[in-house]
Amino acid sequence: MRQITALAGVAALLVLMGGGCGREKDEVLARVNQRPITQRQLWQQLEKADNGQAGLMALDELILRQLVRQEADKRSVSVSEEELEERMSSFKDRVLVQTGKDFAQWLEETGQSEDDVKSNVSFNLLLTKLVLLPQDREAFFEESKDQLEGLPSNSDAAILRQIVVASKEDADAVYQELTAAPTGEGGEPDFAKIAEERSMDPMTSYRGGMVGWLVKGKSADPALEEIAFALKPGEISKPQPIPVPESVAAQAKERGQTPPERWRIVKLEKMVPARELTLEANAENIENMMLGDPRYQYQVQDFMDGLRAGAEIEVLATRYRALGEAYNRSREARELRQKAEQGPPPPAPAPAEDEPEAATGGK
């Protein structure tokens, strides 16, 4: 059984789409003639479906995680609290940019706890430490400097939201709503919610107006960049007109029309200072890039196969016996491949012939 279960978790966002080892939450997923189908029912069905294949894959992942941790203990490889916190901070930024939701809201919606996410992030970091060797990282860093230099994390960048409306009057009304003093139990207005309901920008409205990373000096929208970098985190800009592209203005003029008017209000969520362009500062970027390279994908797969083949694994549950058989086949195949790579054994030395007796003179 050749799966890159752990690799899938490293390469990108193992937990970004939810699932995994989240806390149990019996959420209603659907209703059929007013009768609910719940999360727990789905899990139970997956466990039964396809002769237990879903449960088999989950068991395989648990076994692989145990093997990786045992190998790490053997090599005295570990993940420090400082490393974990740095990766968690980066992970939270990606959640915000990709979903438009803050981390607590995302956890609630995906049915996970922060400990679940930390466990996955820690495991993936441990795996990359075991597989991606220091000399390979150094070589990859040197050959990828130009690509690394273009990443948001290596430049001053802003994470921001925007609301786009059709007129100054609409923009002023939204701005007044956003900046009004909070009253009652409702608290201050929710920028993301208003963006979802009223923004005209189809690229950002469904994510609560989330634009994502805006890199200073490299943006395709200099006007937006100027607004964003004049704000402090949490601040909201006054309404600003969106410049009309020259091509759009020219087309409108040819038709005798007035170019479409658009106004925007911007909220700065976070400012991300540039990192140094060093191997240490870019460790996570380098790992992600390497794991997207077929050379290192094979390296990870070979590492996992080696752990499986070298371990004593006994699957006791009858319904998952196929997994134990797969491990045995993996072990046998690896042994055969190693023998083939080593080549045939050298021929045994020929037995020494008896030396002729020394000639003696006759009498």
Residue 93 structural domain: 5-132+291-342
Residue 26 has pLDDT above 80, yes or no: no
Six-digit token string for 101:
């939701």
With a cut of 90, say whether residue 278 has pLDDT above it. Answer: yes
Residue 307: closest CA among 118, 52, 127:
127
- As a whole number, mean pLDDT of residues 183-199 equals 78
Quick: pLDDT tens for 60-117. Answer: 888 889 999 999 999 999 999 999 999 999 999 999 999 999 999 999 998 889 999 9
pLDDT for residue 187 is more than 60: no
State the burial class of residue 59 (Cβ atoms within 10 Å of its Cβ: 0-12, 13-18, 19+). middle
Compare 6 and 45 and report the one with higher pLDDT.
45
Q: Are residues 91 and 18 in the same domain?
A: yes
Which two structure tokens, joined as six digits, stand for 228? 């964003």
Q: How many CB atoms lie within 10 A of CB 19?
A: 12
Residue 225's pLDDT is: 95
Q: Which of 21, 15, 113, 12 is nearest to 62 (CA)?
A: 21
Looking at the fold, whether 191 and 98 belong to one and the same domain comes out as no
Looking at residue 62, its pLDDT comes to 84
pLDDT for residue 128 is more than 60: yes
Is there a single domain that holds both residue 25 and residue 113? Answer: yes
Q: Tell me whether residue 281 is in a domain.
A: no
Asked whether residue 187 falls in the same domain as residue 240, the answer is: yes
Question: Of 272, 302, 325, which marks where a domain is finished?
Answer: 272
Tokens linked to 306: 């080696």
CB 6 within 8 A of CB 65: yes
Q: How confident is the model at residue 310 (pLDDT cuts 50, 70, 90)?
A: confident
Mean pLDDT is highest, among 6-20, 106-120, 306-320, for 106-120
Task: Say whether both 13 and 98 belong to one domain.
Answer: yes
359 part of a folded domain: no
> Is residue 246 in some structural domain?
yes
* Residue 178 domain-assigned (yes or no): yes
- The answer to whether position 112 is within a domain reads yes
The domain spanning residue 221 has which CATH number? 3.10.50.40
Domain assignment of residue 221, yes or no? yes
**Count H helices, E strands: the chain?**
14, 6
Answer yes or no: do 190 and 231 share one domain.
Answer: yes
| pLDDT confidence tier of residue 48, bands split at 50, 70 and 90 | low
Among 27-31, 67-71, 179-183, 284-288, the range scoring the smallest mean pLDDT is 179-183
Is the confidence at residue 363, as pLDDT, over 70? Answer: no
User: Same domain for 171 and 84?
Assistant: no
pLDDT tens sequence across 227-257: 999 999 999 999 999 998 778 778 878 888 8
Domain check: are 115 and 194 in the same one?
no
- The H or E element spanning position 241 is strand 240-241
pLDDT value of residue 17: 36
Q: Say if residue 44's pLDDT is above 60.
A: yes
Residue 277 lies in a domain: no
Q: How confident is the model at residue 8 (pLDDT cuts 50, 70, 90)?
A: very low
Using 50, 70 and 90 to split pLDDT, how confident is the model at 119? very high
User: Tens digits of per-residue pLDDT, 139-182?
Assistant: 999 999 999 998 888 999 999 999 999 999 999 999 999 998 66
Check whether residue 99 and residue 184 sit in a common domain.
no
Task: Give the bridge partners for 214, in sequence order.
Answer: 158
pLDDT classification of 319: cutoffs 50, 70, 90: confident
Mean pLDDT of the chain: 83
259 & 295 share domain: no
Same domain flag for 174 and 207: yes
Question: Helices 134-143 and 283-290 sit at what angle, rounded to 10 degrees?
Answer: 90
320 falls within a domain: yes
Top-confidence range, 10-24, 312-326, 334-348: 312-326
Q: Three-class SS of residue 80? A: coil
Predicted local distance difference test score (pLDDT) of residue 2: 44
Query: What does the pLDDT read at residue 134?
Result: 94
The number of domains in the chain is 2
Residues 3 and 60: beta-carbon distance below 8 Å: yes
In a shared domain, residues 82 and 122: yes
Banded pLDDT at 45 (limits 50, 70, 90): low
